[in-house]
Structure 1
Amino acid sequence: MKLKALFTLFLSLALWQAQAQIATYDKIETSKGPLVIQPIQHASMVLTWDNKTIYVDPTGGAKAYAGTKAPDLVLITDIHGDHLDVATLDSIKLDSAVLVVPQAVADKLPSKYKAQVVVMKNGQNSTQLNIPIQAVAMYNLPETADAKHPKGRGNGYILQLGDKRVYIAGDTEDIPEMRALQHIDVAFVPMNLPYTMDINQAASGVLAFKPKVVYPYHYRGQNGFSDVEAFKKAVESKNKNIAVRLLTWYPDKATKQ
């Protein structure tokens, strides 16, 4: 009986430790105070920094943002429903928010948002609310006419938050533009087939541009969840200077992450 009790205790501790490794938020220190990262779901997140609240690809309706401050800045990467959800935009307070979007997204937004929209193309730079923003390419390989994410339609974004460069990849594969990035402190990288890339592609891309911290996100695909633990092992075993941090991007399926 003692052996059985000890085994049960050991199993419970192991499960607790595994769950504890998948946090509900994270914090990165910057030269202008902490950057707080709060996953919402899939590709949606809230970044809080320097008394500013940034929504990225807001989806999930008002309920998903309960208890969260209204955004000062909204970044939208692409036109698909897991990135652009007009119903969610309509359900949250956007009165004073700036919306940074690619042209394809701007074309789909209701006219009431037009005065708040800043359109950016791949390669362009803009400063909004004293935050330097660079729009970067995101697309599928090989480049084909029927690609789910053709080059030039959507934007990834690089934000300069104090002394930290934060890269939000959007729906992309390990494209040359990603692999050539430099001086990235924090990266959010997708890994779900057939929409973006598998964990091996994602790991290869990350090992090429060497962010200090990387968060796997957008990792539910047609066949379920990508193995983010395997991604973490693939990256950290080859470069111990890159920290892979796992957050809860699918709160309704937390036990399956």
Structure 2
Amino acid sequence: MKSTFLLTAALATFTLQAQAQTAPTASTAPTAAPARAAADQIKTKKGPLTVQPITHGSVVFTWQGKTMYVDPYGGAAAYAGLAAPDLILITDIHGDHLDTKTLAGLSVSKALLVVPQAVADQLPAEYQARVRVLRNGQRLDTLGLTVSALPMYNLPETADSRHPKGRGNGYVLGLGGTNVYLSGDTEDIAEMRALKGIDVAFVCMNLPYTMDVQQAAQGVLAFKPSIVYPYHYRGQNGLSDVEGFRKTVNAANQKIDVRLRNWYPAAAQ
């Protein structure tokens, strides 16, 4: 009996040890997929443009086998499963646009970084060899597409402005005959209102940093993009009323396709 009891105890101990060795740990357990809004596809003359919302002012485009990250922010985990960037656009020096911690966690060894001078001045040394500075009004042809830098700034223009004119860049991407506008942190400025031929626009709306919903709507109604995505809409008082933005735009112009996507999926969990 005693030997039988000892054998049973030994087998139980071995089983527990084996289970402990094979049980998933924090380092080996599967990583949950990041919460992201579903990607959209937009037709261009040279193939589909994939639009992947990430968070806040961050978006990833894929077109003709090239991947473009805009203002990568929010931690590298937010980009899990996406192709490494060939091009990175950064609009401004603030931490929700120039996020060096997120950059450090991404595979950016092949990426060209297109930035304003103020951003170039703050980028760590390891990125400098791949930086191309664009100032407002300048254009770059690269990777089969064009990148044009536009002003983005607050109104009225004051010495203590959060976003003074000339420091940051909005961008227009030319992708096979499709023009994509990224507002950056701006208000309803004359340069935005004067835009022509914009097919897809990403327009910010968050007080007190940029503009309110009504300003954004009036700006969009002035330059009439075919498609507009409200993005960068988290402010001091929470999320802006993007449904109100849609209603205001479409009450005046039903032809503008206002696409509401969840740029803050973590907040909804």
* Same fold (TM > 0.5): yes
User: In 1, distance between residues paired with 2:162 and 2:76?
Assistant: 28
Alignment match of 1:55 (pick from 62, 69, 75): 69
TM-superposition CA deviations, 1:120-169 (whole Å, max 9, x none) = 00000111212111000000000001110000000000000112100000
The CA RMSD measured in Å over matched residues stands at: 1.1
User: In 2, distance between residues paired with 1:72 and 1:79?
Assistant: 21
User: In 1, distance between residues paired with 2:106 and 2:256?
Assistant: 36
TM-superposition CA deviations, 1:20-68 (whole Å, max 9, x none) = xx95321111111111111111001111111000000001222111000
| Correspondences of 1:1-257 after superposition (within 5 Å) | 24-254=38-268
What's the % identity of the aligned pairs? 65
**Alignment partner of 1:237: what SS?**
helix
Confirm or deny: 8 A CA contact 1:136 1:156 kept in the other structure: yes
User: In 2, distance between residues paired with 1:252 and 1:96?
Assistant: 30
User: Post-superposition shift, 1:254?
Assistant: 3.1
User: In 1, distance between residues paired with 2:63 and 2:120?
Assistant: 26
TM-superposition CA deviations, 1:91-113 (whole Å, max 9, x none) = 10111100000000000001111
Confirm or deny: 8 A CA contact 1:25 1:247 kept in the other structure: no
TM-superposition CA deviations, 1:175-224 (whole Å, max 9, x none) = 00000000000000000000000000000000000000000000000000
User: What residue identity is the alignment partner of 1:136?
Assistant: L
User: In 1, distance between residues paired with 2:203 and 2:181?
Assistant: 8
Confirm or deny: 8 A CA contact 1:61 1:91 kept in the other structure: yes
Confirm or deny: 8 A CA contact 1:122 1:135 kept in the other structure: yes
- In our comparison, the structure showing a higher alpha carbon Rg is 2
Q: 1:5 corresponds to which residue?
A: none
User: What residue identity is the alignment partner of 1:192?
Assistant: N
Q: 1:14 corresponds to which residue?
A: none
**Alignment partner of 2:252: what SS?**
coil
Which stretches in structure 1 are left out of the alignment for 5+ residues? Answer: 1-21
Confirm or deny: 8 A CA contact 1:188 1:214 kept in the other structure: yes
User: In 2, distance between residues paired with 1:62 and 1:239?
Assistant: 38
User: In 1, distance between residues paired with 2:148 and 2:244?
Assistant: 30
User: What residue identity is the alignment partner of 2:139?
Assistant: N
**Alignment partner of 2:92: what SS?**
coil
Q: 1:11 corresponds to which residue?
A: none
Count of matched residue positions in the alignment of Structure 1 and Structure 2:
234
Task: Provide TM-score, normalisation by structure 2.
Answer: 0.85
Task: Provide TM-score, normalisation by structure 1.
Answer: 0.89
